[in-house]
A and B are shown apart, each in its own frame.
Chain A
Amino acid sequence: MAAAAAPAPAVSMEGVTKRFPGVVANDGVDFEAAPGEVHALLGENGAGKTTLSHILTGLYRPDEGRIALYGKPVEFSSPREAIDAGVGMVHQHFRLVSRFTVAENLVLGDRRGAGRNFHIDPGAIAAQVRELGDRYSLPVDPRARIWQLSVGEQQRVEILKALYQEARILILDEPTAVLTPDEADTLFVTVRKMAEEGRTVIFISHKLHEVKAVSDRVTVLRAGKAIATVRTADATPQSLAELMVGREIEVVTREGHAHPENVPVLEVEDLWADGDRGTVAVKGVSLTLRAGEIAAIAGVSGNGQRELAEAIAGLRPCTKGTVRVKGKVVHNGDARAAFQAGIGYVPEDRLGTGLSPTLSISMNLSLKSFRRESLGPFLRLHAMRDKAVDAIRTFGIKSSGPEQETDELSGGNLQKVVISREFSAHPSVLIAASPTRGLDVAAVEQVHSYLLGAAEEGAGVLLISEDLDEILALNDRVLVMYEGGLTEADDRTSVSEIGLRMAGETPSP
């Protein structure tokens, strides 16, 4: 039977290659998405998902390859042309002007609606935005300024922006990274609705369960290459994970157990601390961490987790409250005192806070211990070098040697340098803030096993993470941080309970 002429795919990319100095971000990628389809683009960090989408939105120009939209070949030399062709994108890091109102953000560069005139009438624009929000049940106040909105609301503005431009092809880049589980569910409903209207949604993610939940088909990218395209219904999370990583993976899991008999290694009592902008970020947090225990702190970023970690590690003065390590009070706001008391800290910002980027690996490894190891004012460079060689071997840090500057290392290897430095002091408390963010699956596995190892050796581990999978895999207890306050989940395995608490609600018993 002769197949009826299939409708032209909404997007078709053939042999798309994009090179950056030293890397091939996309290597001959073929990709196709049909109208009315939710097509997931799955891959690890650095697999080339974002680069591919930037090519489709005209931000980057491909070095090789052909792109066609609805059967018509296109070649974008600017974002403007992509917008005019009906391609819209919701960027992972929102591209909104924070001092503008919602309405002003929507009409930027507008050529169709009330904003296309030379003269701008804020009233007419606001009305248009409100109508659009009603139509897609994405309510936002058009006159609100972006900086006043929550992250979830800002994402709504980004989606509205694309719809306002009448995008027929909508790319969502890691849209759930900043959302609570509930907000993510609402987003999925919106995504399905847009697909039912005949729009094509390209959903970029590295989270398997989301891809399963929302997409019709999945294209898996690995190291810049499109490995496979499969129907979501035919795939299992396991099979997708293997395609993504290129080998079988072991998922680190842990039987959570309480350690009521162990000694408390960290006691935090009624801790208050200010954020960078002078607002109160941590509001009366108390917690006890026992030896050998992994306590995970969940929460959407920006709820005071970073400030709490820094306050405990002595990097941020507490305005009130005490921190005790093994019963002894740690001097407030004194990072060296905290370190000497036995607190190890793996910060969220590993290259800025965790390491000194222009120093060598060996210098960085000795940053906290050189006082003990030096000969008077002189550093013992040979000893430091030997120690670095040891660490490189033990932790498998890929580098050209102990003299390599740390800003030349990849994310995973940077994290290993930080971890090996913090571990070498045998801390009794280890604070790890988003320790696997941006790492590939293999490095995540390793970091997880280091954290488990630290707990087994008797350290109390405080794991701060936005990644619920990670939290569920590693915790003995789950604490949730919301607007500076900390609550403890009753059920350490219940996603719904943790989700509710992340949104600031207390589950009814």
Chain B
Amino acid sequence: MTTADTSATAPFDPSLPESKGWPLGRWLAPFAVAIALLSAILTFVVLTGLTRIEPTAQVVNSFYLIDAATILLLLGFILREVWKVVQARRRGRAAARLHVQIVGLFSVIAAVPAVVVAVVANVMIDRGLDQLFTGPTRELVQNAVSIAKAYTFEHAAAIRGDILAVAEEIDQTPRPLFDQDRGTFQQLFLRSASARNLPFAMLIDKNGNKLVETDVQQRFATPPPEILNNPDLVNDTEPYLVVLPDENYVAAVIRLPTFSDTFLYVARPLDPFVVGQLKQTELKAQGYAEMEAQRYGIQIAFALMFAVIALTILMASVLIGLNFADRLVAPIRRLMNAASTVSTGDLHVQVPVHRSEGDLAQLGETFNKMTQELRTQRDELVNASELIDSRRRFIEAVLSSASAGIIGVDGSGSVGILNRSAEKLIGHAESETLDHPLSDVLPELDELMKNAREGKQRLVQGQVTIQREGQERNLSVRVTAEQNNPAHDSYIITLDDITELVSAQRTSAWGDVARRIAHEIKNPLTPIQLSAERIRRKFGRVITDDKAVFEQCTDTIIRQVDDIRRMVDEFSRFARMPKPVMEGEDVADTVRQAVFLMKVAHSEIDIEADLKQDPLRAQFDRRLISQALTNIIKNATEAIEAVPPEELGKGRIDVIAARENDDIIIDVIDNGIGLPKVARARLLEPYVTTREKGTGLGLAIVGRVLEDHGGRIELKDASDFRPGQRGAWMRLRFAVSGHANKVEAGTEPAGANLRAGEKKQPAAETGKAAEATHSETNIEAAGN
């Protein structure tokens, strides 16, 4: 419940810190874009002549320079951005590829139309100019010019004819007429001129002085003397023609051969309209020719303009694209970084959400929700697994601490789990039993398992007796079916060691019997004995016949009663075993003494003490242990005596005392008749004996003594000790400390039952002195 409610997760921005410390830089790019666009538009406007600024080469060039500068500026910005992107991509920053793709796409989208339009426009211009400078237009212009020229030439030709004709006529006129009769000459001259429809004619000398002239209705300029005196221009055979469209006339001058240094000069006015048209046509033709000469210049200029505008737009769009990509990629980048953080298992990731980002903001929100949900679910899972884990640990602790043995059997009948108590009970370590079939590990349970499998009940109970390590154990078994799958049930088997309980029950039952015997037999014994004694005392004196028979009969009665009393006493003694008084004693010495006494009593048998440690200190009741050992050795001697003499050879008893961990072990190995194989454990119970005359209490008393010392008696075969040997191996085991390390279930309650059972007599509350006295009595009696 700790990790679940981490609601206060700080918003997480996985993107690298953006450079926000230079606001000028952020505004510089848009500013540059604006400048570039503005200069491009201005160039366009100026170039197309929409302003009053004359698009002279200088102006245009300076505009182009400005454009180039802004384009370079943009290029610089773009390079910077591209450098950043490349760096980012090289560093493997998230979404760098997307960034590049978006910028590339923007550039393509911006550049392709611009380039296409530029190419198309150039082609169009070229085509348009081609049309302008070739074909009909060109012809038209040239024709107009030709017509205008033809017109003037016609006039010139006319005036040439006229001037030649007038010159001839004047030449034929006798010179003296000119010199003498200037009036007649003039009339003649006039007639000649008007006959040729020359409105103006004059004779001038070489200095331009008028000699003769016609009526002057119009002023005509006299040719300058330089022309007149230039023989290349003006001679006497061919007139020098001058078309003066500005003066609206054509003039011709010729040297008169017969008149020295006299020139004829004629002029005829032209139609002012025609002359005007002619002038204009010439002008236009001139302009046209100029334009044609400038054609490639224009084309280049337009191409340049297109290039400038296209470049500007391209750069601008690339910059805008970069900017856009930045904005578009930023949230994606945040998401990608956050997602990669999530992929490493950290679910405490939240991306900042900016409403302005639209769909991406929504995506971010969804992502945040998703991580939160994941976190919650994972926390819940973790908590659940912790809970399960703690439960499992609890169950394991319960299992391992349970005194009952617990075995889990899976559907295939193999052992799936077993606890420490079960290990101890079945005498195999966990490793030897896990995954082994139960029928191998505990064949004694086969029948119960069969019942459990065949029966419909969920719970099958029963008792089995198993034999492990020389000990017989009574187990109460409960088989519970875990009905997961009817075909393959798994089972939980609970084993309760009720050996002690069973033995306690038997002991308790025997205690009751003992009390009944004491009560029912001992009571009538008193009057029988007293009667017999009284008979002997009272009538012994008066009987004279067969007095010996009388004595024998009464003696027999008294002796037998005494025997019965002793037997009853022995029963009672067992039913009320004294509590041992633990003192630090030497086991070795105790063994030595007991062996010594038995050696003296049974000199025909080799009784050898083997003391592995000497001295061997322990806490125990010397008298009781000595008693127990004596009992066991006595049993051994009796077992040896029971062997037929022809088989026996030499009787031998080995007594070995040693310390094993926290236990003292005294082994008594004989070569007597040995112990029965069946129901060995019952030998330890009271009243069970293999001998004809035994009371069956010897081993029971030894067992009780050792139990009170935190130990037990183990019944084995001598062949385990020395292969092939006949006889029994009794192992007396008790704790060095004198106390049981582990509380054996059933021991204490059994004893308590026995003692409680005795307190039927009134005034049962007795003092310690009485207890002590009682103990003394019992111990002495036990020696028998």
Are A and B part of the same complex? no
A contact residues vs B (CB 8 Å cutoff): none
